[in-house]
Amino acid sequence: MTQQHDEDTRTAGASPITHPAGGPHTSRSAGARKTEDGTRPPPSSPHGASIASARRDRMLRALRWLALLAAVFAFGVVMFGAFVRLSNAGLSCPDWPTCYGQVTWPAHAHEIARADAAFPDRPYEDHKAWREQVHRFLAGTLGTLVLALALIAAWRTRWARAAVIAAAVCAACGVTLYMRGQMALSSLFSALALGLPALAALGLKRPAAWRIAVLAFGVIVFQAMLGMWTVTLLLKPIVVMGHLLGGLTTFALLAYAALRFAGVGAADDRHAPLRHAVAFGIVLLAAQIALGGWTSSNYAALACGTDFPTCLGQWAPPTDFGQGFVLWRGIGVNYEGGVLDMAARSAIQIAHRLGALAVFLYLGWLSHRLARRGLRGFGIAVGAVLVAQVLLGISNVHFGLPLPVATLHNGVAALLLLTLLATLARLQPRGDDAALSSPGLSR
C-alpha cells in the first residue's frame, strides 16, 4: 500500500460506522484516527477507502470554490485598477504601502495638513487618494485568497507546503523591511517570496491546475512589487504596463485553474488540432493588451484626437516610432501626464490600432472555425466579446475617452481573454486536474 494513500487514511476524520458485535468501531469524534482497539482501518478496507475518498472530495471542493472566488475577485481588482489608472489617481498616495503615512488615508484637517507638509510636491487630493488605497486593500485581499488556494493545493506535499508558507513569511518580511528603509534585505526577502512558489510549482507532482494554483501566489507577490514600483518610479510606462499585464496574468491563471478544477476538458481528441490556433490567439491578444497598456501609460489614447479611422484628419500623420517605443528612460522622471511629443504618441496610437485590426481578423477567423468544428457556443462567445471590445475601443476615441467606457474597455479585454482560456481548457484532455493524483507523491 502506498505512502500517499496511507496518509489519506491517517489524516481524515472517521465517520460513524457500525461493525459486527465484538468487532472494532470508530469513534464519532471528528478528530478520531483509530478504532477503539488502537488499530487504524486499513486503506484497502471499505471504511478506509471511504475516508480517503471523502477527504479527496473535500479538498477538491475547496479548491474549486476558492479558485472561482479568487478569479472573480481578481477580475474586480483588474477593473478597479483600471479605474484608478484612468482617473489619474496612480500617484495620489505618494508612499507605499501606506498613504501619506497612514494605513487608510488622511480624513481630518490636521491629518491633511501633516500630509501636505510631509509631501509638499504632492498635495493631498481626497477624491483620488481613497481610490488608490482601496485598490491596495483589494489587492491585499486577493493575495490572501491566492495564498489560501496555494496552501490547499500544496498541503499534502510537505516540502511544497513549507515553501509556500516560507514565501508568505518572506513577503511579509520584505514589506516590513522596505517600510524601515532596509532596501537590500527587503530585496532579498522579496526575491525569496518570488522564487519559492515557482520552485514548489515546478517540483509538485500534481496535475497542471494544482501547480498553477501554487504558481499564482508567486505571480501575485511580483504584482505587489510592480504596484510599489508604479508609485516609487513615478508611473514609469514600462512598470505601469507590466502592472496591467501582471494583473491580467493573475486573473488568467486563477480562471484557468478554476475551469480545470471544475472538470472542463475534452473526453477525446476530436478538437485537438484547434489547440494551437487558440493558444496563438491568446498570445496575440496578450501582445495587444500590452500595446494597450503602453498606449495608456504614455497618455497616447487621444493622440489622434477623436478621429477614426484617420489620425488627426490624416491617413499618415507625422509619427516617431523610435521615440514612441523607448522602453527605459532612466529614473527620476515623473511620467504623470506623459513626456512624449505628439509624433511619438501618434505612433503608439497607430500601432495599437494596427494591432487591434490584426487581433480582430485572427479572432474573427478563429470564432468562425470554432463554430464550424462543433464548438458553436465557444465560437459565438469569442466573436461576441471581440465585437464588443472593438466597439468600446472606437467609442473611446470618438467620445474623447470617457472614464466608464475606458474602464469597461479594460474589463472586456479580460473577458475576451477568459473566453479564449475557457476554449483552451475545453480542448485540453480531461485529465486528473479535478481529482487527486495517483499515490506515491513526493513527501
CA–CA distance, 410 with 3 (Å, rounded to integer) = 48
Compute mean pLDDT per 10 residues along the chain, 443 residues long, and list them: 43 41 42 48 61 77 95 98 95 95 94 94 93 97 97 94 97 94 94 96 93 97 95 94 97 97 91 95 98 97 96 95 94 91 97 98 98 95 98 96 97 98 94 52 34
- Quote the cell numbers at residue 22: 465484538
Q: Give the CA distances from residue 10 to residues 52, 185, 204, 329, 368, in Å, rounded to whole numbers and listed in that order.
A: 9, 41, 22, 59, 52
The sign of the torsion formed by the CA atoms of 289, 291, 294, 298 equals negative
| Residues 78/253, Cβ–Cβ less than 8 Å | no
* pLDDT reported for residue 31: 41
**Look-up: residue for cell 521615440?**
323
Q: Identify any residues that bridge with 108 across adjacent strands, giving them in sequence order.
A: none
CA–CA distance, 343 with 401 (Å, rounded to integer) = 19
Cβ count near 279 (within 10 Å): 14
* pLDDT reported for residue 278: 98
All residues at 6 or more sequence positions from 154 whose CB lies less than 8 Å from its CB, including other chains: 160, 161, 163, 164, 200, 204, 210, 214
* pLDDT reported for residue 40: 54
- Quote the cell numbers at residue 226: 510592480
Residue ranges in 155-273 assigned as alpha helix (H): 158-179, 183-203, 208-232, 237-261
The contacts found for 174-180 with CB under 8 angstroms, 24 or more apart, are 175/97, 178/228, 179/97, 179/98
CA–CA distance, 152 with 213 (Å, rounded to integer) = 9
* pLDDT reported for residue 57: 78
CA–CA distance, 229 with 180 (Å, rounded to integer) = 17
Nearest Cα neighbor of 303 from 323, 289, 287, 319 is 319
CA–CA distance, 171 with 179 (Å, rounded to integer) = 13
* pLDDT reported for residue 43: 53
Give the predicted TM-score (pTM) of the model: 0.86
* Residues taking part in catalysis: 132
* pLDDT reported for residue 330: 83
CA–CA distance, 243 with 305 (Å, rounded to integer) = 26
Cβ count near 204 (within 10 Å): 23
Domain ranges of the chain: 56-262, 274-436
CA–CA distance, 227 with 232 (Å, rounded to integer) = 9
| Residues 272/427, Cβ–Cβ less than 8 Å | yes
| Residues 249/414, Cβ–Cβ less than 8 Å | no
| Residues 344/323, Cβ–Cβ less than 8 Å | yes
